[in-house]
Amino acid sequence: MIIRISKSAGVVVEARELKLSVNPASNVSATLTLRTKIELPVVSAGPEIIQGPGEYEVAGIKVRGISLEKESSAKLLATAYIVDMDDLRLCFLPQSVKSFDEGFLDQLDEVDMYVKVLAEELGQSVESVDKLSIKKKDINEGETKLVWIKEK
């Protein structure tokens, strides 16, 4: 699995022939696209674009969208996503999450990797990389490692 970030494509996760894009600024060729914050009312965008809470499966990628009510408003819907892809469980959070809803962490189950975590909350230094390639066997249970993926 390779994870990259760019201004136009957002976060891109590639695993085998699958490509997941999260919050792209423009249309990106991807198997599946997730949008963590969208303006209301929601406009239908097709089955390969997920924009809101619920359970989905597209091309073998399982997605659970969890509503973030504290981050949402009458004009904006904020959603966190749990994605099962390539034997890993990833969590994608919207930019600038101020606080989590009560019980939110209980809904996460066991997540292997959070994409977008604040360094000061983890009390760690940050390793800066151009791209991240990760496999399930590379993850040590109970260990937290913070990596900053440079924008391209």
Mention every residue, 6+ apart, whose C-beta is less than 8 A from residue 4. 11, 12, 14, 131, 132, 149, 152
* Residue 69: Cβ within 10 Å count: 13
Task: Count other Cβ atoms within 10 Å, centred on residue 40.
Answer: 12
Q: Which fold has domain 2-149?
A: Metallo-beta-lactamase; Chain A (3.60.15)
Of the two residues 121 and 9, the one the predictor is more confident about is 9
Residues 121-144: what's their mean pLDDT? 70
Q: Quick check: 36 and 114 in contact, CB under 8 A?
A: no
* Most confident by average pLDDT, 24-33, 71-80, 100-109: 71-80
pLDDT of res. 120: 47
Tell me the pLDDT band of 117, cut-offs 50, 70 and 90.
very low
pTM: 0.80
Of 56-60, 90-94, 95-99, 127-131, least confident by mean pLDDT is 95-99
| Mean pLDDT of the chain, nearest integer | 81
Per the structure block, which two tokens stand in for 97? 């999450």
Count CB neighbours of 129 within 10 A: 13
Q: Kind of pairing, strands 2-6 and 10-15?
A: antiparallel
Displacement of CA 21 from its chain's centroid (Å): 9
Looking at residue 47, what DSSP letter applies?
Answer: T
Structure tokens at 120: 């000061």
Q: Indicate the pairing of strand 113-115 with strand 88-92.
A: parallel
Greatest Cα pair distance in the chain:
43
pLDDT, tens digit (0-9, with 9 covering 90-100), for 25-74? 887 889 999 999 999 998 888 789 999 999 999 999 999 999 888 888 99
The reported pLDDT for the residue numbered 81 is 94
- Quick one: pLDDT at residue 59? 92
